Structures are given as structure tokens and as C-alpha cells.
Amino acid sequence: MAVDGPDQRDVRQGAGRIEDDDEEPMSTLTELQQLLHAKYNIEIDTIGPDAAMQDSGMDSLAIAEFMFAVEDHFHITLPDDDPSINTLAQLAALIDRVKAAPPAAAKTPAPSPVTEDK
């Protein structure tokens, strides 16, 4: 009903995969602004790239929900709670970094042996 429907895409936790090799038609920042507008009716010119997202009326819960939408939109997994991300410009830069990163297989440690060799 009024709760946002689930996204049915298969987003692999912790993988940070990039599956879209198309050239981007617009900057990540512009895409974020458009996403904010579509999701929350926040006008693009009321949230500048360097203003704190909280200043546009988003509280911590709305920001958490927005990050979820961002992950769906960009087909990425953002790192957990990065306290340094306060503005759209910082978020756009983070998204670009995640998208540019190689597949994050290295992040997953190899399973430790359960038993020691004799």
C-alpha cells in the first residue's frame, strides 16, 4: 500500500558489482537531485551540492530510507554508515568511488580453516 514496494532486482550484499557499462548521460549529483525530487518532492534548487542533507528537512530516518533508494537506483551497495557523508556532493563522490571500485571480492576474507593441521 503506502509503503514503498520492494525492489525485485538481485542486489548482492557486499559485492559492489557494477553491471551497467553504459556511458552516464548525467552526473551522479544530478541523478541524486532528481531522485530526491522524485522520492520526496524536494526541489532541486533547494538542496545544493554542499548543503547538509538535514537542511532540506530530511531526518535520520528519511536519510536511511534515501540511502536504500540510492543503492537500488545505482545498483550498488554503499558502505555502512559513513559519518563523513553529509552533503549530496559527498554522497555523489562516494557513489562514484563505489562504482569505480573493482569487484569487492577482496573484502571477503577467505574462510579460515576450522581445524588446524596436525
Residues that bind another protein (CB under 8 A): 1-11, 39-42, 57-59, 61-62, 64-68, 72
Cα(48)–Cα(26) distance, rounded to whole angstroms?
Answer: 17
Longest CA span, the chain: 67
Least distance CB 39 / another protein (angstroms): 7
- Residue 7 vs 20, nearer CB to another protein: 7
Least distance CB 12 / another protein (angstroms): 11
Q: Which three cell numbers stand for residue 74?
A: 545505482
- Residue 1 vs 26, nearer CB to another protein: 1
Cα(37)–Cα(59) distance, rounded to whole angstroms?
Answer: 16
